[in-house]
Amino acid sequence: MENWAEKDLKYIWHPCSQMKDYEELKPSVIERGEGVYLYDVEGKKYLDVISSWWCNLLGHCNPHISEELKKQAGELEHVIFANFTHKQAIRLCERLSKILPEGLCKFNFTDNGSSAIEAAMKVSFQYHEQTGNPQKTRFMALSEAYHGETIGALSVGDCDLYTKLYKPILMDIVRVQGPDCYRCPYGKNRETCKCECFEKAEETFAKYGSETAAMLVEPLLQGSAGMKIYPPLYLKKLRELCDKYNVHLIADEIATGYGRTGKMFAFEHAGVSPDIMCLSKGLTGGYMPMAVFVTTQKIYDAFYDDYNTGKAFMHSHTYSGNPLACSCANAVLDLLEDGKILERARENAVYFNKIIKEKFLLHKNVGEVRHIGLINAIELVKNKETKEPFDGKLRTGYQIYKKALKRGVILRPLGDVIYFNPPLIIERKDMDYAVEVAFDCMTEVLG
């Protein structure tokens, strides 16, 4: 039999990996997917409770999405998107504009999340430049933010694991000390607090607001930081503060959009609208790489003028508005339209959180179990009282990951935070299995 894993390692440099780790743990060679399951070439079954890096929204090889994609492939695979358009993109924007937070109505297409972030940053800067505020040349973002991996997106991010090494080549960002609800320096609780920590944002805006074009934020959930969750009130306050200083509020809903937080978009929890929203991941159900930023008429209008004024947004990607990706995005909306999937996911989220709490909360190394929507995170600590983390060198999360993988559950913890972020269609028996395996593996490693 052909050794696919060996051959893979001969050629492929995998993302976000120390390739030497693959000496001991070979890559799983996946042959097919169905619902929440993946199957490798040897027929082994894996439960994908992390939605293949958070993008698979409605299960693998969803029959409706696959069918729509096939149909589209038979009609039109791609077309230049400058001066040309197609029905799939138009339909998609029309449908999204009806469900997005109020005011978001103009769509710009890119082909991955990081690119959408960078396009949004460029638009914000250019807007200010063209409306009499050329001094607004900087960007603000929260501590421990994650907005992608390209140089601009990486600059606004603040997760040491990804950014630290590259600091010398990154942009100079204004960092806002953000919420840290598990280790709250104010001794408050995210369920009842008044976002006392927001004073840090106020201080930063007072100092740098006048030179800042936009503030980027992952609403309610800082995913890569370890599924850190903070209250909607923070976003409401941020909206007011941004208005006060004429700073754009850019919502990075790449991870939180499409029902992940229990509502279609996380910003809905706060009842306010951002000036620009970035979407990707769930947008195509995890089928095709595509992203959009959506903005307001007001921002759009600042670019709308005679060609020779030079006000156009001269930003492009070859695959902007790809019809295959748009067909998947429309198919996803077909499935979400009647609200039944989101409703079931909300009901199941209550169950999921309950069984996770019952299983994990009493363990000596579980510092916190937090959840939003179906996303649940278990933060492991060395000392529950002091919240002291484990020494990162022990790679505690990674040890648990390897054990769970053997038993056919894909966990991929963020450091020592074990989390679940399953497709919205996951059923209770699969939740039960994921929780049981994760707990067993954790106790095997930690006692």
- Sites of contact with ligand PLP (CB under 6 A): 112-114, 117, 146-148, 218, 223, 252, 254-255, 280-281
Bridge partners of residue 217, in order along the sequence = 251
- For the chain, the straight-line distance linking the first and the last C-alpha, in angstroms and rounded, comes to 39
Shortest Å distance, C-beta 291 to ligand PLP: 6
DSSP string, 158-225: --HHHHGGGGGGS--PEEE----STT-TT---TTT---TTHHHHHHHHHHHGGGEEEEEE--SEESTT
Shortest Å distance, C-beta 292 to ligand PLP: 12
Shortest Å distance, C-beta 358 to ligand PLP: 29
Residue type, 6: E
DSSP string, 22-42: HHHSPPP-EEEEEBTEEEETT
Shortest Å distance, C-beta 264 to ligand PLP: 16
The span from the CA of 48 to the CA of 44, in Å, is 13
Sign of CA dihedral 320, 110, 373, 415: positive
Shortest Å distance, C-beta 115 to ligand PLP: 7
Contact between 363 and 400 under an 8 Å Cβ cutoff? The reply is no
Residue 261 or 280: which CB sits closer to ligand PLP? 280
DSSP string, 283-339: GGTTSS--EEEEE-HHHHHTT-S-GGGT-S-----TTTT-HHHHHHHHHHHHHHTTS
Residue 129 or 268: which CB sits closer to ligand PLP? 268
The span from the CA of 306 to the CA of 133, in Å, is 21
Shortest Å distance, C-beta 315 to ligand PLP: 16
In 3D space, the residue among 419, 338, 414 whose CA is nearest the CA of residue 372 turns out to be 419
Phi, psi angle pair for 292, to nearest 5°: -140, 155
DSSP tally for the chain: helices H, then strands E = 15, 16
Residue nearest to ligand PLP (CB): 113
Shortest Å distance, C-beta 281 to ligand PLP: 6
Number of residues written out for the chain: 447
Residue 112 or 396: which CB sits closer to ligand PLP? 112
For residue 342, what is the enclosing H or E element? helix 340-360
Integer angstrom CA distances of residue 311 from 57, 103, 117, 303, 305: 38, 22, 20, 5, 7
Q: Which residue has the tokens 């993302």?
A: 15
Residue 209 or 223: which CB sits closer to ligand PLP? 223
Contact between 92 and 333 under an 8 Å Cβ cutoff? The reply is yes
Contact between 360 and 400 under an 8 Å Cβ cutoff? The reply is no
